[in-house]
Amino acid sequence: MSQMTIPESSSNRIHVAVGVITNNQKQVLISKRHEHLHQGGLWEFPGGKIEQGESSESALRRELVEELDIEIKKYRPLITIPHDYNDKQVCLDVFNVTAFTGRPKSCDRQELLWVDICDLKNFSFPAANKSIISALQLAECYVITGAIESSEQCKNKVQSAVAQGLGLIQLRQKELSDTDYLALANDLLKITRNSDSKLILNCSLDLFIKTNADGIHYTGQRLRDCRQRPLANDKFFSVSTHTLEELQHAVDVGADFAMLSPVLATQSHPGEPELGWEHFGDIVKQIPIPVYALGGMSISHLAVARQHGAQGIAAISALWNDL
């Protein structure tokens, strides 16, 4: 794993290494901040300030020994979150810790709790932590439905996706009438409701509110016309973007996560300029919400996508067509 050292030029912001510690029961460890601290009384994920010249990974190891008396054994980057609290600017380098030695205990007398990931919404966190919760709830692969011969075929493919543990599915069927789309969406919800998978609808808001789907997806054009979050916070708001400016607008209108494309060349849009991994990573690190890499993706790109700050990959050809 690469070592990301915080340069001296970024000293105007407080950089923090955060450990999201999860167990096999899909629980995460949270701690309560002391009342006298900044954002005191709120719950948080363990971690602490990255010292000058220290890598985020080294700070993570040190902080979890000092705070919890544990030594981490397995971890990966989850998300980087820049956030402005007005009185303080922070940048959180967040890691998902999945293996450690020792039994967590509070060395600083903070209250500790193991909480189901689905129940994190019931606790009050600092604003910068909202995207951590989203990242924990979202899958690594975002499946977008492609061409179908029939509704039955679509249902069979979604059933296969659920069985394979593909936890995020977008129903994109522009050729269907509203009536047929709504009927298909409701049929698919019967499949996903019995699993951990989430169904996102790529449709009008009027059609979406007639369902109990997990979220709505806005195309780039609909995002450009959007001036405020279109639905309640208990549903996901997903968007398509192509530039840093569009991603910043997505954040401004309350999007929970986004797709950024095209990262690589695609057969569907030959000749369209591609971002490339380095530019993709430079953009994503400036955005405080989870971002999926889209365009030319395959399962083999998942690791490199994560290395460049992505939540994961999104695809039609590499995910939907192989079901």
Query: Residues 140-151: pLDDT tens digits?
Result: 999 999 999 999
The owner of tokens 């189901």 is: 116
Q: What is the pLDDT of residue 158?
A: 96
Q: What is the pLDDT of residue 3?
A: 38
Q: Has this prediction a pTM greater than 0.85?
A: yes
178-192 vs 151-163: helix crossing angle, rounded to 10: 30
Distance CA 277, CA 263 (A): 6
Residue 20 φ/ψ, nearest 5 degrees: -95, 100
The owner of tokens 């029939």 is: 150
Specify whether domain 141-315 bears CATH 3.20.20.70: yes
Residue 4 pLDDT more than 80?
Answer: no
Instruction: Name 85's Cβ contacts closer than 8 Å, sequence gap at least 6.
Output: 38, 39, 126, 127, 128
More confident residue, 2 or 86: 86
More confident residue, 94 or 35: 94
Arithmetic mean of pLDDT over the chain: 91
For residue 72, the cross-strand partners are 100
What phi-psi label fits residue 69: left (phi over 0), alpha (psi between -120 and 50 degrees) or beta?
left
pLDDT in tens, 11-36: 467 899 999 999 989 899 999 988 76
Instruction: Name 282's Cβ contacts closer than 8 Å, sequence gap at least 6.
Output: none
Q: Once rounded to an integer, what is the mean pLDDT over residues 279-289?
A: 96
Query: How far lies 199's CA from each of 27, 51, 125, 208, in Å?
Result: 22, 42, 26, 11
Q: What is the pLDDT of residue 12?
A: 62
pLDDT in tens, 38-83: 667 899 999 999 999 999 999 999 999 999 999 999 999 999 999 8
Q: Once rounded to an integer, what is the mean pLDDT over residues 190-205?
A: 95
Q: Once rounded to an integer, what is the mean pLDDT over residues 98-118?
A: 93
Quick one: CATH architecture of 8-130?
Alpha-Beta Complex (3.90)
pLDDT in tens, 247-272: 999 999 999 999 999 999 887 667 67
| Nearest Cα to Cα of residue 257 among 131, 171, 152 | 131
Residue 109 pLDDT more than 90?
Answer: no
Q: Once rounded to an integer, what is the mean pLDDT over residues 131-135?
A: 94
Q: What is the pLDDT of residue 267?
A: 72
Q: What is the pLDDT of residue 128?
A: 85
Please count the residues of the chain.
Answer: 323
Delimiting residues of CATH 3.90.79.10 domain(s) in the chain = 8-130
Cis peptide preceding 262, ω within 30 of 0:
yes
Q: What is the pLDDT of residue 226?
A: 96
Assign 7 a pLDDT band (cuts: 50, 70, 90).
Answer: very low
Q: What is the pLDDT of residue 269?
A: 67
Q: What is the pLDDT of residue 322?
A: 85
Delimiting residues of CATH 3.20.20.70 domain(s) in the chain = 141-315
Cβ pair 4, 57 in contact under 8 A: yes
Distance CA 14, CA 48 (A): 10
